[in-house]
Amino acid sequence: MSTEGEYECIVIGAGVQGSFTAYQLAQRDKKTLLLEQFVLPHSRGSSHGQTRIIRKAYEQDFYTHMMEECYELWAQLEREAGVKLYRQTGLLVMGPESSQSYQLIKNTLHRNKVPMVILNQENFSQHIPHVNLAEGDGAVVDISAGVLYADRALKTVQGQFQKLGGVIRDKEKVTDIKPGSVVTVSTSAGVYRAKSVVITAGPWANRLLVHTGLQLPLKVVKINVCYWREKVPGSYNVKQRFPCFLLTEGEESKENIYGLPSNEYPGLVKICYHAGAETDPDQRDRQTDRSDIDILQRYIARCLPGLVPEPAVVESCLYTQTPDHHFVLDCHPVYSNIVFGAGFSGHGFKFGPIIGKLLCELSLGEVPSYDLSPFRIRRFQTKTKSAL
Ligand SMILES: Cc1cc2nc3c(=O)[nH]c(=O)nc-3n(C[C@H](O)[C@H](O)[C@H](O)COP(=O)(O)OP(=O)(O)OC[C@H]3O[C@@H](n4cnc5c(N)ncnc54)[C@H](O)[C@@H]3O)c2cc1C
Ligand SMILES: O=C(O)[C@@H]1CCCC=N1
């Protein structure tokens, strides 16, 4: 296989965002190369793991609107590949009735006519077993929400990309990017050229952008991915129709706590804290902060009585956060044929199909299908540094 080549587009990073971008480009018959530094599949970035939540329940209309089409794109991929990637479970959103976040989510669901059920202290336990709804908390269920089989989804979209003639070169780290009307991309094994380049490098985004003279206000944090044992096997199982859940804030913390029904590890429920300690993406195993686990233990002891409040398994993952926790989807301010998607802030997996479509459109110089003003880098103003 050639270690040289001319492509219409090179996508750097085969996480969920780069994989869907490459797939969209190949669907448009663009000769596309997808480069990945590690051997695929790997667990060093942000897209690995068996499961992710998919939902329309957001504080902002623009996310809920994007998810309307995104569900259809997920279903299209399932049909095309003949693979099940989504399991409807519903998403139970809980939070203080008085909190802005809880009210914004409930109102956005209502305003956008998203199918939902509002629960209260009186009827909560007959709908949701084994969960204590805290005093003063409200509860709303986003009915169409559910679980995405993440590892399976990555493998599927990468496979469809290759079936469409796309080229994946993994274990090939990009070491340099030379902007120009034809962009030159150097890797540990070769040199490639393309009319456009899409950077979807997750926690390493700024390491690549520096070659183009740009730095974004991104913070990489390590997330402890915790699994908790059911005291009675099956009580929080996806087969028992236990929902995904999202606590907007609680007495333990202002940060989200979220969980998915037991699935990948029998008898174990994945519950994580939506924050973590800053880390270098290549040094994350040295980050040993476990203060998040203490918070999770206190919450589980208080509100999830059917779980042992001690993690049975702790894996890790990375978030790349922006200051406002909204994504970065934009063209380079100087080199418009260099496009990037970054800063997905711990909630970007479900948007993969629509992010792929948008980054494909930007790389082809087309007007994007959605208003990208919430995601443009100009919102950062002084925080975006030129590395020149
Ligand atoms: C614990 C956890 C739970 C989450 N839960 C949810 C959820 O329930 N729902 C949801 O929607 N989202 C969720 N997310 C967020 C979601 O997983 C991420 O937003 C998404 O995976 C980010 O994808 P990405 O492609 O940007 O990054 P990544 O998956 O990190 O991909 C970037 C890729 O670029 C490669 N790369 C980097 N530098 C180079 C280089 N120089 N050369 C070649 N390749 C390079 C990396 O190796 C990597 O494979 C969660 C994330 C975590 C960590
Ligand atoms: O993106 C999601 O749905 C999950 C739950 C909320 C926080 C992060 N990931």
Is 189 strand, coil or helix?
A: coil
C-alpha to C-alpha distances, 226 to 238, 248, 312, 315, 338, nearest whole angstrom: 17, 18, 7, 6, 37
| Nearest Cα residue to atom 50 of ligand 1 | 346
35 in contact with ligand 1, CB cutoff 6 A: yes
pLDDT confidence tier of residue 238, bands split at 50, 70 and 90: confident
Rounded to two decimals, the ipTM of the complex is: 0.99
SS3 content of the chain, % helix, strand, coil (to 5): 30, 30, 40
Non-local (6+) Cβ contacts of 287 within 8 A are 222, 277, 278, 279
Residue that is written with structure tokens 């059920």 in the block: 117
pLDDT of residue 382: 67
Nearest to 259 by CA among 51, 98, 87: 51
Instruction: Identify the three-state secondary structure at position 156.
Output: helix
CB-count exposure of residue 160 (10 Å: 0-12, 13-18, 19+): buried
Name the token pair of 262: 């037991």
How much distance in Å is there from the Cα of 134 to the middle of ligand 1? 33
Average pLDDT value over all residues in the chain: 96
Mean pLDDT of 269-298: 96
Distance CA 296, CA 307 (A): 12
Question: What's the pLDDT band for 384 if we cut at 50, 70, 90?
Answer: low
Q: What is the pLDDT of residue 1?
A: 43
Closest Cα to atom 3, ligand 2: which residue? 53
Weakest-pLDDT range from 1-15, 258-272, 295-309? 1-15
Enter the pTM of the model.
0.97
Whether 277 contacts 221, CB under 8 Å: yes
Q: How confident is the model at residue 381, as a pLDDT?
A: 81
Is the pLDDT score of 388 beyond 80? no
User: Helix 61-81 crosses helix 150-163 at what angle (to 10 degrees)?
Assistant: 60
Domains of the chain are: 7-47+151-217+324-378 (3.50.50.60), 91-143+219-321 (3.30.9.10)
CA distance 76 to 96: 37
Cβ atoms of 48 and 151 closer than 8 Å: yes
What pLDDT, on a 0 to 100 scale, did the predictor assign at position 240? Answer: 82
Q: Ligand 2: list residues with CB < 6 Å.
A: 53, 55, 246, 256, 258, 274, 346-347
> Would you state the pLDDT for residue 383?
65
Confidence label for 387 from pLDDT (cuts 50, 70 and 90): low
pLDDT tens track for 47-86: 999 999 999 999 999 999 999 999 999 999 999 999 999 9
